[in-house]
Every structure is written in C-alpha cells, then in structure tokens.
Structure 1
Amino acid sequence: MRIFKGIAASEGLSKGKALLHVRSSMVAEKQHIMAKDVQGELQKIHKAVERSKKALEEHQGPDISAEPAEILQTHLMMLSDPEYLGQIAQYISTNLVCAQWAVEAVTESMVSLLESSSDEMLKERSVDFRDVSLHLLDALSNRSQRTVKNLTEDVILVADSLMPSELFSMDKSHILGIALDGGGRASHVAILVRAFNIPSVIALGSASQKVHDGDEIIVDGNYGEVFVRPDLTAAQNLNERYARWQAHEQELRQMIDLPTRMTDGHEVLLKANLQTVSEIGSAKEVGASGVGLFRSEFLFMDSVGGSTEEQQFEAYKEVIEAMAPLPVTIRTIDVGGDKVVPGMGIDEKNPILGWRAVRFCLSRKDIFSVQLRALLRASVYGKLQIMFPMISGVEELNAVLHLLEHVKEECRTEQIPFDPDIKVGTMIEVPSAALCADILAKKVDFFSIGTNDLIQYTIAVDRGNEKIAHLFQPFHPGVLRSLQMIVEKAHQENIPVSLCGEMASDPLCSVLLAGLGMDELSMGSQSLLQVRKILRDVSFAEAKQLADHVMEMDSYLTITTYIREWMHDRFDHFTTI
C-alpha cells in the first residue's frame, strides 16, 4: 500500500479502479523558412487561432456554470491577445522560422516569466498559456490532444498533469475521483473539479509514477489523501471512513424538506447563489428558500459588448418562474474588478478600485437601462427582487433608484406590465456603505452583505494575492464589528439582512452569523444542507451568546481558535468524517 498526501481540491470520498492519464510531450516542428514564406506562416497562425477558438466555444452553453465559463473566456481572450499573437508573428518574421516553432518559443518565454514570479496566482496562470499553446499546436499539426472519452466503466483518474481544456473534454460521467501530481489551490483545474463536483486531491508529487491501470484507489477529498492498493487493515479503516461519509451525506439529504429552524424556534432563511439558469435544479433539490444572489453578468460572458434585452428577459423569466413562489434576488451586472467581460472596454491598472459594478452601470446607462427593463418585464412571472452591487454611498443609490423609476415610467407609457411592489435592495460590500448603513437602510427594502469584497476592502488585502492571503480573515474584529453594525442599522429600519459571501457557505461561520442577527444566508447549493443541519442543532440564544462573547475579543487568531473549539465541541461528528 502507498499513501500520497496532497491538497484537498474538491471534497468527497471515492473509490474505484485507477485509469492512468500521462501527458505525452508534444514536440513542435522546428523548420527554418524563406522570407517569401513568412506570410504563409502568419496565415497558418490566423487559421489555427480560429480553429482553437471554435474548439473552446464548443464547451460553452446554457448548462455551464460561472467558474468554468470564466475559465473558457480567459482562454478565448488569450487567443485574442494582441501582445501574445504579435510576439508570435514577430518571432516568425525576425527569426524566419515556422509557425509551430514560434508558438513554442514565445509560449515558453511567457511561461518562464510567470513561473519565476513569487505570486502563486501568476505561477498558476502559466498553465493556461501552455494549454492555449497546445490548442494552437494541435491546430497547426492537425493533431488532437489525448482526452479521456467514451468510458464504459467508473474510474479514478490518476494523472501527472491536466489542462483545463482536457477536463472540459473528458467524459466526466464515469470519473469518480481525480488524483493529480501537480496543481495548486488557485489553479483553474482546482476550480473546475469543484465546479464539476468530482472528489479530487492535487499536488501529490509523483503518484502517477507509482500507479498502474486497474489499481484499487481511494481518493479522500476531505483530508487530501490518496490510498493506492490499500492493505486489509487500511482498507477496513478507509471503508469505515467511507461509510461514515456516506451516512453523513444521507443525514444531510434528510434536511432537504425541513425549515432552518433553530431549537428555540428562531428561523434563518437559507437561499442559493446561482450563476446560470442551469443551476436552478440544484437549488430546488436542496430545498433552498429562494435565490439570494443570481449573478446576472454571466449573460454577458458569451456576447461581445453585452446581451440583448430579449435574451436577458428570457433568462430572468426562466429563473423566476422555476423558483416561484419563492423569491429570486437578481444582482444587476457586476463587471470589472476580477470579472472580465469581453467587449466592455474595461482595461485598468487597478481594476479592484476602478470602473466596476454600479460605477460602470451609471456611466453606461445604455446597457444598464436595457437590463432594468428586462428585469421589470420578467417580474410579473414570480417574486423578483433587484439588488445593486458596489454601492458606496447615498449619491450612487439615489442615481440607480432614479434610473429604475425612469425605466418603470417607460414601461407604463408602453403599457408593459411589471410588478409594482417589486423589492429593491443594495449590497453592502465597501466600508463606506457599512458606515452609512443607517442612511441607506431608509431607501431600500433589504440589505445583502457581500463579505468577499467587504473583507477585502476593510482589511485592505487583495483576496487573490497568495503573498498576503493569510491576512484575508473573516473573523477580523473590524469585519465582525462591521457586520454587527450593518445588522443593527438595518433592523432599526425594519429591513432584513442577507449575507451572500463565502462566509455564508462556511459551516464554521454559520452559528456566529445567526448570532449576529442575519436573517438570511445565501450560498452555493452544495453547502446549504450542511449549514441547515448545524443551525437546526443549536438555539438562537446559544448563537447570540457566542456572538456577544466573540465581539469582546481583540484578535482574529483568538476569535478563530475560540469559534473552532466551540463548533468542534458541539459538532464533533462533522470533524471525524
């Protein structure tokens, strides 16, 4: 038996027979050319780019969720990057070499530069450039990358490396788990295996060199361990762990039709975050109390310059009808920052603090008005709530509310029906909005706290920067005081508060958030049942006592340790799986 330890990339336990997938090295053809042949090679590059784009676009569609869609868009943008393609063209012209040679040389130069960076995120992006270059080399040589297709039995995939495009192309219906030699926490492969819900462990080192096709494998995506050819004792222990996991999953499934009511009767609504229309089924399957965040920007991912009113209307209508009579909160387009949408003209040196979200919408009212009109048209098909992101103060809120009233008046003039009682809310995700919560609460029907950005801006830490990732702390006293203040100011105006950031989906945060007075938590569907079970096992009085005690502490380290111990004392069955 061999045990490999790595990074738990996607939770779950799976066992089965190994299927080895080792990347065959692709050697680019290296030929010198004559000056008169340069134009022909440049034409080959142009055709290869178009073929590669077409191959990637085949993976797009209405069923793809947000993370895979964004990764596909990143690769498509790389294939349109004038700097990358310009360097390839220049390399051909200057060195008089064939197209394949130029693609390999330029890509290796860019990869070396990225891999030498101390920023882990940049290092991981080098994989994307390699992936894109392989598409180009395939197209130039009329070859196909090896993919795992048309499987006839369930397998555990063991690989030395995987490119995002390979994961897209694979027959995932028969892949029970993945064990990968390489990869990192920020890698696109790690993001994809979570999106595809495949138990996975990455960064195993040399597992693929020690495994043979058909070996018995157990992948533990909870603890980050992979067991190869387990002996009898280990197999028994792992079978017990697997049985506990299965029992835990079965216990969670029993939560589907139950309300999230704490032991003393206090109820917290648990809603789902959705990226695409196709995720509605997942939200309904776990008994979500509605949609707390529908990220409308995905509609703009597949179209250059935006999405038509009719396209948006149909998508909003489908979500609202499917969830009726439960409420659906749709966030207006939130582009910019780390959300890149082609054709919008957003290219800034400091995008996180730049032209993004409502700032973009107020300066592009042509796009924003179309979205508001589509939302109003769809509102008659169920219970729609409109939410504005990145509001920093009352001036911006007044501006968006004024524009909404203008679009309503247009609909009235054109006799287009819409829900006259539609609720409107704002996200609280920047410190200025938190400090002005009492002012903003007088103008809206609800608050939704976006903790991902609120933490980032409160502590002044880029959540995508691995060098300072340790500073991104949800239990920082400054963050918790902001949450407490937002809830107090909202409740003084009798409006509910939802929290839709990553904190909502973290079981460790759930009791504290309830104790702080959150009325709703909105999260990915995969986390909802776990949070529901936790909240149903404690009283609101206990949760409030926890929150009050924590608010007296002065350090996120102290708070984190205390909450972890408090939760483990009461929910040890969650930590022994």
Structure 2
Amino acid sequence: MRIFKGIAASEGLAKGKALVHHQASMVAEKQHILADGIAGELEKFRTALSTAKRTLEEHNVRDITKESKEILETHLMMLQDPEYIQQIEAYISTNLVCAQWAVDSVTTDMVALLEKTEDALLRERAVDFRDVSLYLIDAIKGKGSHRMENLDEDVILVADVLMPSELFAMDKTHVLGISLDGGGRASHVAILVRAFNIPTVLATGGASKTVKDGDEVIVDGTYGEVFVRPDLMVSQMLDERFELWQQYEVELHQMADLPSVTTDGHPVQLKANIQTSSEVDGIKALGACGIGLFRSEFLFMESLEHPSEQRQFEVYKQVVESMAPNPVTIRTIDIGGDKVVSGLGIDEKNPILGWRAVRFCLSRKDIFTIQLRALLRASVYGKLQIMFPMISGVEELNAVLHLLEHVKEECRTEHIPFDPNVKVGTMIEVPSAALCADILAKKVDFFSIGTNDLIQYTIAVDRGNEKIAYLYQPFHPGVLRSIKMIVEMAHQNNIPVSLCGEMASDPLCSVLLAGLGMDELSMGSQSLLQVRKILRSVSFEEAKQLADHVLGMDSYLTITTYIREWMHDRFDHITTI
C-alpha cells in the first residue's frame, strides 16, 4: 500500500480502479520551413483557431455551471485576442517555423511571466494559458488523442497534468475521483472539479508514476490523501471517516443562515475573498455577509490586452448586483511584486519592494483612471466599496484620493451616475502604514489588514524563499502587536477594521483575531462555515482573555504552542490543526 498526501481540492471519498493518464501533447514538434511555406503554416494556424473555437462553443452550449461557463468564455476570449494571434503569426513568419511550434513558443513566453512569481494563485493561472495553446496544438496536429470522451467503466483518474479542456471533454459520469501530481486550489481545474462534484486531490507529487492501470485507488478529497492498493483495515477506516465527514458537513451547512456572533452576542462579520465573478453564488450559499476582497488584478491576467472600462464595469456591476444589499469591497489593481502581468514592463531585481500596487497605479494613471471610472459607474448597482492596496503613508493616500475626486468630477461633467457616498478604504500591509494608522484613519471609511504582506514586511522575510520560510510566522509578537495597534487606531477614529489575509482563513487564528477586536474577517469560501461554527462556540470575553494573554508572551513558538493547545481543548472535534 502507498499513501500520497496532497491538497484537498474537492471534498468527498471515491474508490475504484485506476486509469493512469500522462500528458504528452504539451510538447509541440519543432519544424523549420522555407519562406514559401509561410502561407501554408499561417493557414494551418487560422484553421486551428476556428476548430478550437468551435470545440469550446460546443462545450459552452451544454448544461454547465456558471463557473464552468465563465472559464470557457475566458478561453474563447483568449483565442480571439488579436495581440495573441498577431504574435503567433509574426513568430511563424519571422522565425520560419511551423504553426504548432509558434503557438507553443509564444504561449511559453507568456506563461514564464506567471511561473516566475511566488504567488501560487498566479502560478496556477499559467496552466490555463497552456490549456488554450493545447486546444490549438491539438487542432493543428489533428490528433486529440489525449481526450477521454468515451469511458466504458468507472475509474479513478490518476494523472500528471490535467487541463480544463480535458475535464470538459471527458466522460465525467465514469470518473469517480481524480488524483493529480501538481496543481493548487486556485486553478481552473480545481474550480471545475468542485463544480462537477468529483472528489479530487492535487499536488500528490508523483502518484501517476507509481500507480498502474487497474490498481485499486481511494481518493479522499476532504483530507487530501490518495491510497494506492489499500489493505482491508484502511478501507474500513476510510468508510468510517466518510460517514463522520457527511455528519460534519450537514452540521456545518446548517449554520449557513445563522449570524456570526459569539455566545455573549458580539458580532464578527464573515466575508469572502474572491478573484472571479463566478465565485459569488457559492459564497452566498455559505452565508457570507459580503465580499471583503475582490482581487481586481485577475481581470488583467485573463487577456493579453488590458481590460477596457466597459469590460471592467460589467464585471464589477455583476458582482455588486449579485451581492446586493451586502457590501462588495473591490481592491484596485494590485500588480507588481509577485503578481506579474504581461505587457506592463514590470521586471525588477527586487520586485517585492519595487514598482507595485498603488505605486504602479499612480505612475500609470491612464490605466488607473479607467478602473476608477468603471468602479464608480458600478457603484450605483449596490453597495460597492473601493480599497487601495499598499498605501505606505499619507502622501500616497492623498494622491489616490485626489485622483478619485478628479474622476468623480469627470463623471459629473459627463452626466455619468455614481454613488457620491461610495466608501473608500485602505489596506494596512506596510509597517509604516501600521505606525501611521491614526493619521490614515482620519481620511478613510475603513481599514483592511493584509496580513500576507504585513507579516512579510514586519519580519523582513520573503514568504516565497524556502530557505527562510520558517521565519514567516503569523503569531510573531511584532505581528500581533501591530494588528492590535491598527485595530485600536481604527476604533478611536470610529471606522471598522477587517482582516483579509490568510490568517482569516485559518481556524486556528479565528478566536484570537476576534479577541484582538476585528470587526470583520474576510477569507476563502472553504473556511467560512468552520470559522462561523468556532466563533459561535466561544464568548467574546474568552476571546479577549486569549488575546490579552498571548500579547504578553515573548516568542512566536510560545504563542503558537499555547494557541494550539487552547484551541484543541475546545475544538478538537471540528478543527484539523
């Protein structure tokens, strides 16, 4: 028996015979051509474009979920992107190579920008760019051999790489579970397997190299484990685990419509972090009382061209309308650093401390003002809030507020309706902003603490550097004291404060954050129900006592140990910490 640990991407338990799938089509064949062969290769490419579009459109007319539909539409948009098409055609003509090699080369250059980042969310988007090239390469080759459209028995699919295109095309009635060697929860593949309700484990490392066709495999998409050739004892244990999981799921979902309040009546609003409009229906079903962070930069990643004002407006409007009357906080473009977007000329030796987020926006007002106009236009359709990232001091805040007022005046002149009372806030993720929180609080309507960067900058540790990853500690006394100070400064100036970093998604942190005085926690949707259950099980007085106690401790090791024991004593039956 072999056990592979990975990322739990889609909950559930599945048992069956393995079907091993290795992705071979990703490698294009390189062939040089003569000058008189250019026209023929261009024609091959254009024919492949039409074929690939037709394949996507065929999938798009089926009875599919909203999330699946949006992924297909994104891929269709990429296939119609004039810049992408022009680059491939120019590559064929300039380098005298065949069409499939040109497609692969141009796409590889685009993907390289994303794969160099430390942000797992962005790295996973590279898979989707590759998927579009796969449609094209297969259409050029005329093979499509990697498709699994006709399966005559139930299987557990064990693969090294799986593309969204393959998920759409495969016979999903016979795929009971999926194990992938790579991937992450933010990828389109992960979104799709959840939409298709297929238990899935990602990032198993090398299961596909060990498993053979016909092997018995159990996929546990709840705990993130794959069992190959399990013995009888393990099979019985997993059957019991499945029954407990079902009971717990029922218990959690019963809380979707309940308020997030402590046992003594203190409210802590629970909101969701999203990056695409396709996630809205799911978070509403889980009882999120709003969106605390909409990462607008993902709009800039789905195409080689910058999204137009109209495109941005339509997306913002859709999200705001869908969530009304609950609020939607949209963060303005947060690119640079570990978020690389093609075509913007951001390539620095030290990007984490460089030209990023609001610094980029203030120097590229042509891009920034378009986004502000789109946001203001969408503000009349619900409760939209605008949030600026990586503000380091009052000078930057004054600059963006001044620009926002200028755009408002433009809208008034052009008789474009917008909410004149739209709320504006800033993220607190730079130590200088934390130390000046009392000054910044007088100029905005709310704070949102971005702990991912606040931890990184406070401790001076690159969170993408494996050599010093152990130093990246949310429970570092300096981090907790900063959070406490920010909350106090916000409340003294009568504005609410939210926390939207990964700490909010960690059940281990939930009681502590409530005790530190957080008004809101914004998190990944997978954590909403569990955090709500935890907060409804403790009193605010207990939470404050916990926070006060750990604030007096002198090391992250002591604090982490104490919080783990405190939480295990009370929540061992519902937390996996």
- Structure 1 residue 390 corresponds to structure 2 residue 390: yes
Q: State the match for 1:255 in structure 2.
A: 255
CA distance in structure 1 between the aligned counterparts of 2:209 and 2:491, rounded to whole angstroms:
56
CA distance in structure 1 between the aligned counterparts of 2:274 and 2:31, rounded to whole angstroms:
52
Identity %: 65
1:475-490 maps to which residues of 2 (within 5 A)? 475-490=475-490
> Deviation of residue 299 (structure 1)?
2.9
Q: State the match for 1:203 in structure 2.
A: 204
Is contact 1:13-1:218 (8 Å) kept?
A: no
1:536-564 Cα offsets, whole Å, 9 max, x none, are: 11111111111112112222222222211
> Deviation of residue 265 (structure 1)?
1.1
Q: State the match for 2:464 in structure 1.
A: 464
1:461-514 Cα offsets, whole Å, 9 max, x none, are: 332333333332212222212111111111111111001111111111111111
Q: What's the secondary structure of 1:16's corresponding residue?
A: strand
Q: State the match for 1:448 in structure 2.
A: 448
1:256-276 Cα offsets, whole Å, 9 max, x none, are: 110011111111000111222
1:222-257 Cα offsets, whole Å, 9 max, x none, are: 444323454544333211111111111111101111
1:180-329 maps to which residues of 2 (within 5 A)? 180=180, 182-183=181-182, 198-203=199-204, 205-206=206-207, 209-213=210-214, 217-228=217-228, 230-329=230-329
Q: Indicate the larger mover: 19-28 or 455-464.
A: 19-28
> Deviation of residue 384 (structure 1)?
1.7
Distance 1:277 1:564, change over 3 A: same
CA distance in structure 1 between the aligned counterparts of 2:313 and 2:86, rounded to whole angstroms:
34
Normalising by structure 2, we get a TM-score of: 0.81
Q: What's the secondary structure of 1:219's corresponding residue?
A: strand
Is contact 2:438-2:490 (8 Å) kept?
A: yes
Distance 1:544 1:308, change over 3 A: same
CA distance in structure 2 between the aligned counterparts of 1:400 and 1:544, rounded to whole angstroms:
36
CA distance in structure 1 between the aligned counterparts of 2:302 and 2:102, rounded to whole angstroms:
30
1:266-290 Cα offsets, whole Å, 9 max, x none, are: 1100011122222111121011111
Q: What's the secondary structure of 1:573's corresponding residue?
A: coil
Q: State the match for 1:371 in structure 2.
A: 371
CA distance in structure 2 between the aligned counterparts of 1:574 and 1:516, rounded to whole angstroms:
23
> Deviation of residue 135 (structure 1)?
6.4
Q: State the match for 1:360 in structure 2.
A: 360
Distance 1:101 1:516, change over 3 A: closer
> Deviation of residue 54 (structure 1)?
6.2
- Structure 1 residue 63 corresponds to structure 2 residue 67: yes
Is contact 1:156-1:217 (8 Å) kept?
A: yes
Q: Indicate the larger mover: 160-169 or 394-403.
A: 160-169
Q: Indicate the larger mover: 163-172 or 463-472.
A: 163-172
Q: State the match for 2:22 in structure 1.
A: 23
1:316-341 Cα offsets, whole Å, 9 max, x none, are: 22222222211111112222223333
Is contact 2:18-2:211 (8 Å) kept?
A: no
Distance 1:174 1:271, change over 3 A: farther
Q: State the match for 1:5 in structure 2.
A: 4
Where does the alignment leave 5 or more consecutive residues of structure 1 unmatched? none
Is contact 1:426-1:448 (8 Å) kept?
A: yes
CA distance in structure 1 between the aligned counterparts of 2:133 and 2:484, rounded to whole angstroms:
49
Distance 1:299 1:493, change over 3 A: same
1:426-437 maps to which residues of 2 (within 5 A)? 426-437=426-437
CA distance in structure 1 between the aligned counterparts of 2:343 and 2:277, rounded to whole angstroms:
23
CA distance in structure 1 between the aligned counterparts of 2:473 and 2:77, rounded to whole angstroms:
30
Q: State the match for 1:400 in structure 2.
A: 400
> Deviation of residue 154 (structure 1)?
6.3
> Deviation of residue 517 (structure 1)?
0.7
> Deviation of residue 84 (structure 1)?
11
Is contact 1:438-1:490 (8 Å) kept?
A: yes
Counterpart amino acid of residue 201 in structure 2: S
Q: Indicate the larger mover: 24-33 or 393-402.
A: 24-33
Where does the alignment leave 5 or more consecutive residues of structure 2 unmatched? none
Q: Indicate the larger mover: 274-283 or 551-560.
A: 551-560
Is contact 1:18-1:211 (8 Å) kept?
A: no
Is contact 1:67-1:192 (8 Å) kept?
A: no
Is contact 1:20-1:208 (8 Å) kept?
A: no
> Deviation of residue 176 (structure 1)?
4.3
CA RMSD, 1 decimal: 4.6
CA distance in structure 1 between the aligned counterparts of 2:450 and 2:30, rounded to whole angstroms:
54
Is contact 1:68-1:192 (8 Å) kept?
A: no
CA distance in structure 1 between the aligned counterparts of 2:301 and 2:208, rounded to whole angstroms:
37
CA distance in structure 2 between the aligned counterparts of 1:71 and 1:548, rounded to whole angstroms:
50
CA distance in structure 2 between the aligned counterparts of 1:32 and 1:311, rounded to whole angstroms:
39
Counterpart amino acid of residue 295 in structure 1: R
> Deviation of residue 385 (structure 1)?
1.4
Is contact 2:160-2:182 (8 Å) kept?
A: no
Distance 1:46 1:233, change over 3 A: closer
CA distance in structure 1 between the aligned counterparts of 2:124 and 2:366, rounded to whole angstroms:
37
Q: Indicate the larger mover: 238-247 or 154-163.
A: 154-163
Counterpart amino acid of residue 294 in structure 1: F
Aligned length: 565
Q: State the match for 1:501 in structure 2.
A: 501
Distance 1:236 1:199, change over 3 A: same
Q: What's the secondary structure of 2:573's corresponding residue?
A: helix
CA distance in structure 2 between the aligned counterparts of 1:378 and 1:35, rounded to whole angstroms:
53
Is contact 1:183-1:190 (8 Å) kept?
A: no
> Deviation of residue 450 (structure 1)?
1.1
Distance 1:392 1:67, change over 3 A: farther
CA distance in structure 1 between the aligned counterparts of 2:35 and 2:234, rounded to whole angstroms:
67
